[in-house]
């Protein structure tokens, strides 16, 4: 998710670069909307950023000072073109383009209320509901900022939003718990807002600060004209999703005061303390297990080796929309490096075990490549509970740790031993972060029915 408010007409190109930097956050589709006069022009399609945007179609929208963009990873709503963002919504006095990261848990209720007021819906995404709600309140309030504030106060769950308004404003909002990251960057051309700081670096902008939980920030003509915390934290047990540090974010990002690389490195060190093992070498599962593997090797004193050659043209298997696509991606993406594995006892470090199918295939591949033993170490606790706030796990039936004890999981994936980091160890690894964490996918505390 990326938004740009610039002094020059290069917002679309800059947003394109920002989305390229955050391709890891979603690979189903992408889109960019720009303000052209009082009209909002949008181009979006299924595929990767460099597939959807050609020189020709990017050229049609490049002359604008304001733009928003989004890479889709489906949580609510099926994987379909109609659910791609940005959502452009018109109302009597204006237009908005909305992009959203997270999952609004009361979207169904809001949708029914809006339909009763005569609004129509075409998609199945909660973002369409959010955009329609904002447009409804913008029309009633006759002001984009007041409309966004009214709408945000009605939303429940996880949401970071960037709204492009025909009033020539960019409005960013983060929910009161701060479930998902959002940050602001400044450069000679103006200001940008992005889900991760790595996008700022890639676009030549310097990090200014994170958007605070519950805060709305309004940017006009490349400058912040309004900033205020408008939303309260409704759930005391909520906070930044810990999976941002474990898996979602790029290691070169900094989120709420903590380097993602440092967090993952510390997870590996904690794993080595909590689950030592006699072995010949340590290797990590690319990509999000690599930093934890470095930490494990450093703490344990075991040599770190490359266990896989990765096909860089295959995306992240966890965020593929179907199980068959995830399994195919694993086979094509990772090929064991036999020279580093033959006859050795290996500590294999990965970020998580969700369904268990990926881990089973990876362990099997290592043993087929000659590894004598494979000791699996996981830099997150057992994933036992469904997440309704932006992770694509909506039922415990898909979670192996919800159905099996540790020994059964170990046997199922074929590992010689298995160890997960403790919740205390994970929190200690991330203790420098400025915000508390949401760990409900591990503990189940406070989970609510839809």
* Interacting residues of 217 by C-beta distance below 8 A, sequence separation 6+: 171, 172, 173, 184, 193, 211, 224, 226, 227
Per-residue pLDDT of 274-325, as tens digits, reads: 999 999 999 999 988 999 999 999 999 999 999 998 887 665 454 455 555 5
d(CA 46, CA 33): 15
User: In this structure, is residue 325 part of a structural domain?
Assistant: yes
Token code pair at residue 191: 């200001």
User: In this structure, is residue 352 part of a structural domain?
Assistant: yes
The distance in angstroms from the start CA to the end CA of the chain is: 25
Strands (E), 357-403: 373-378
Per-residue pLDDT of 201-244, as tens digits, reads: 999 999 999 999 999 999 999 999 999 999 999 888 889 999 99
Backbone angles phi, psi at 72, to 5 degrees: -90, 130
User: In this structure, is residue 328 part of a structural domain?
Assistant: yes
pLDDT higher than 90, residue 394: no
Question: Which of residues 186, 216, 234 is at a domain's end?
Answer: 234
pLDDT of residue 318: 47
Residues 304 and 439 in one domain: yes
Q: What mean pLDDT comes out for the span 256-282?
A: 97
Residues 229 and 253 in one domain: no
Residues 435 and 338 in one domain: yes
pLDDT of residue 170: 97
User: In this structure, is residue 449 part of a structural domain?
Assistant: no
Domain count, the chain: 2
pLDDT of residue 315: 55
CATH assignment at residue 297: 3.40.50.2020
CATH assignment at residue 51: 3.60.20.10
User: In this structure, is residue 426 part of a structural domain?
Assistant: yes
Residues 229 and 364 in one domain: no
Question: Which of residues 174, 208, 234 is at a domain's end?
Answer: 234
Per-residue pLDDT of 161-179, as tens digits, reads: 999 999 999 999 999 999 9
User: In this structure, is residue 214 part of a structural domain?
Assistant: yes
Residues 253 and 175 in one domain: no
Residues 253 and 311 in one domain: yes
Residues 80 and 214 in one domain: yes
Residues 127 and 251 in one domain: no
Mean pLDDT across the chain: 91
User: In this structure, is residue 418 part of a structural domain?
Assistant: yes
- 122 vs 77, residue with greater confidence: 122
Q: Tell me which residue has tokens 């955050």.
A: 22
Token code pair at residue 103: 């999952």
pLDDT of residue 448: 40
Write out the residue range of the structural domain in which residue 106 sits: 2-234
pLDDT of residue 331: 63
Q: What mean pLDDT comes out for the span 425-439?
A: 93
Question: Which of residues 234, 269, 291 is at a domain's end?
Answer: 234
Residues 76 and 111 in one domain: yes
Full-model pTM: 0.90
Residues 188 and 45 in one domain: yes
Q: What mean pLDDT comes out for the span 419-435?
A: 94
Please, which pLDDT band fits residue 391 given cuts at 50, 70 and 90?
confident
Residues 203 and 165 in one domain: yes
Residues 229 and 302 in one domain: no
Per-residue pLDDT of 14-27, as tens digits, reads: 999 999 999 999 99
Strands (E), 368-422: 373-378, 417-420
User: In this structure, is residue 308 part of a structural domain?
Assistant: yes
Per-residue pLDDT of 344-389, as tens digits, reads: 999 999 999 988 999 999 999 999 999 999 999 999 999 998 887 8
Q: What mean pLDDT comes out for the span 255-266?
A: 97
How many Å separate Cα 435 from the centre of its chain? 17
pLDDT of residue 392: 64
Please, which pLDDT band fits residue 114 given cuts at 50, 70 and 90?
very high
pLDDT higher than 70, residue 52: yes
């Amino acid at each position: 998710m990326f938004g740009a408010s610039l002094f020059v007409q290069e917002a679309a190109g800059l947003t394109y670069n920002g989305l390229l930097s955050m391709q890891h956050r979603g690979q189903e589709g992408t889109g960019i909307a720009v303000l052209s006069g009082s009209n909002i022009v949008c181009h979006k399609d299924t595929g990767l950023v460099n597939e959807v945007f050609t020189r020709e179609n990017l050229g049609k929208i490049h002359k604008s000072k304001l733009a928003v963009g989004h890479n889709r990873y489906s949580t609510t709503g099926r994987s379909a073109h109609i659910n791609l963002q940005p959502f452009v919504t018109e109302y009597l006095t204006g237009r908005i383009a909305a992009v959203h990261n997270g999952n609004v848990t009361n979207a169904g209720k809001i949708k029914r209320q809006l339909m009763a007021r005569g609004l129509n819906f075409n998609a199945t995404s909660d973002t369409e509901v959010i955009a329609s709600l904002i447009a409804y309140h913008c029309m009633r309030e006759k002001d984009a900022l007041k409309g966004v504030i009214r709408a945000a106060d009605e939303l429940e769950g996880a949401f970071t939003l960037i709204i492009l308004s025909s009033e020539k404003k960019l409005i960013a909002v983060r929910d009161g718990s701060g479930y998902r990251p959002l940050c602001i960057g400044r450069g000679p051309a103006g200001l940008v807002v992005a889900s991760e700081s790595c996008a700022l670096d890639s676009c030549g902008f310097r990090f200014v600060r994170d958007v605070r939980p519950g805060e709305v920030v309004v940017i006009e003509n490349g400058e912040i004209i309004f900033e205020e915390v408008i939303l309260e934290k409704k759930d005391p047990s909520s906070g930044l999703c810990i999976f941002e540090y474990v898996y979602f974010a790029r290691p070169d990002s900094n989120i709420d005061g903590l380097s993602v690389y440092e967090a993952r490195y510390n997870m590996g060190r904690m794993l080595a303390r909590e689950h030592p093992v006699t072995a010949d070498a340590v290797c990590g599962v690319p990509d999000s297990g690599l930093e934890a593997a470095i930490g494990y090797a450093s703490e344990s004193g075991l040599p770190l080796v490359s266990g896989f050659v990765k096909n860089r043209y295959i995306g992240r298997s966890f965020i593929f929309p179907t199980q068959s696509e995830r399994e195919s991606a694993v086979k094509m993406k990772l090929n064991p490096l036999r020279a580093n594995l033959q006859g050795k006892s290996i500590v294999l470090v990965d970020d998580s075990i969700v369904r268990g199918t990926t881990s089973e295939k990876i362990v099997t591949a290592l043993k087929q490549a000659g590894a004598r033993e494979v000791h699996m170490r996981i830099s997150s606790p057992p994933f036992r509970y469904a997440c309704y706030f932006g992770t694509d796990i909506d039922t415990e039936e898909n979670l192996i740790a919800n159905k099996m004890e540790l020994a059964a999981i170990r046997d199922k994936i074929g590992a010689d031993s298995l160890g997960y980091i403790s919740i205390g160890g994970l929190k200690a690894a991330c203790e420098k972060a400025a915000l508390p964490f949401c760990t409900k996918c591990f503990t189940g505390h406070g989970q609510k029915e839809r």
